[in-house]
Amino acid sequence: MKVSMTVNGKAVSAEVETRTLLVTFIRENLRLTGTHVGCDTGQCGACTVHMNGRAVKSCNLLALQAEGADIVTIEGLAGADGTLHPMQEAFREHHGLQCGFCTPGMVMSAIDLVNNHSDPSEETIRAELDGNLCRCTGYHNIVKAVMAAAANS
């Protein structure tokens, strides 16, 4: 079947099998490999992207469910001149990453969190990021980064 959507501001379309996951479409058809596959069950959050302005786990959606949608991946956040999104900059500045595997999904979820909670507490940040797993950082610097980005937005 043919699927069409906008990804990072560009119209895209392709023929896909009906069972193709959105994460597979993004990574294999579009070659945008910043969106990671960590668990295939929606538990780790490494595949988080924005669909129509909301964070979603792209391993839980079929590409066909995104028909006509506006998708933003981690690659679509930085400015055309390479300027990092404020959340990306906060993660860099506050050392909110180590191996980097969870970082794209964590950043995408954190942006959605700040869009919904303009002044989140540490408790809110930890609760809202509960669906994103990080095996390296212990979350302390991730929380600091989200708080800093929220304060600057």
* Range of lowest pLDDT (36-45, 104-113, 123-132): 36-45
Asked if residue 134 lies in contact with residue 99, where contact means CB atoms within 8 angstroms, the answer is no
**What 3-state class would DSSP assign to 54?**
strand
Domain boundaries along the sequence of the chain:
2-76, 86-151
CATH number of 2-76: 3.10.20.30
pLDDT at 56 over 80: yes
Architecture in CATH for domain 86-151: Orthogonal Bundle (1.10)
Asked if residue 66 lies in contact with residue 8, where contact means CB atoms within 8 angstroms, the answer is no
- pLDDT of 123: 96
- Please enumerate in sequence order all residues whose Cβ is within 8 A of that of 100, keeping only pairs 6 or more positions apart, or say none: none
**Angle formed at CA 151 by CA 145 and CA 153, multiple of 5 degrees:** 100
